[in-house]
Amino acid sequence: MTFVLIKTIHLFAAFIYGGFLIVDNLFLVHIKASYNEEEHKSIRESFMKVVRKVVPPSLIVAVLTGLYLITQVFGPIGEEGMNSFQMMLSLKAFLGIWLGIRGFAQVYLGIQPLVFKSHVLPFTFVVTIIFLSQFMYI
């Protein structure tokens, strides 16, 4: 029962974070073309007021619950090494932890990234995590 509850929390938190990246990368970038600079700035800031309250804690919850879930499903490493499930899960965990550290450092410690300042790389990581989630059980 605990596993199912934590997995549900994990999925909701991941949906919130991933949903923000989808909206930001696929929709908000196009608002710039329809509005002048002042209006665009106002629209984006209005959106970001809510984002700043909800998305960073969701990311942290997604990473922490994901770490718990890994301990429950990873399993022992065989003599021949990790199986494909374990390799994909490890890659998924690496990308998730990277996102979590980057997000925590940026939001809670005020450390801005030196490179990859836009949300394109995190968006790419989230899409990769989604695909890995679908293929790792095959």
The two three-digit tokens of residue 37, written as one number: 């600079």
Residue 95 CA to residue 116 CA, distance in Å, equals 14
Count of CA atoms in the C-beta half-sphere (13 A) of 99:
32
pLDDT band at 30 (very low <50, low <70, confident <90, very high): confident
pLDDT at residue number 79: 94
Per-residue pLDDT tens for 65-119? 999 999 999 999 999 999 999 999 999 999 999 999 999 998 889 888 776 677 8
Tell me the average pLDDT across 10-36. Answer: 88
pLDDT at residue number 74: 94
Dihedral angle at the C-alpha atoms of 39, 43, 49, 54, nearest 10 degrees? -160
SS3 label, residue 78: strand
Residue type for 137, please?
A: Y
Residue 116 CA to residue 136 CA, distance in Å, equals 28
Tell me the average pLDDT across 2-15. Answer: 96
Tell me the average pLDDT across 10-25. Answer: 92
pLDDT at residue number 34: 84
pTM of the model: 0.87
3-state helix, strand, coil in the chain (%, to 5): 80, 0, 20
- Beta-carbon contacts of 84 under 8 Å, excluding residues fewer than 6 positions away, are 136, 138
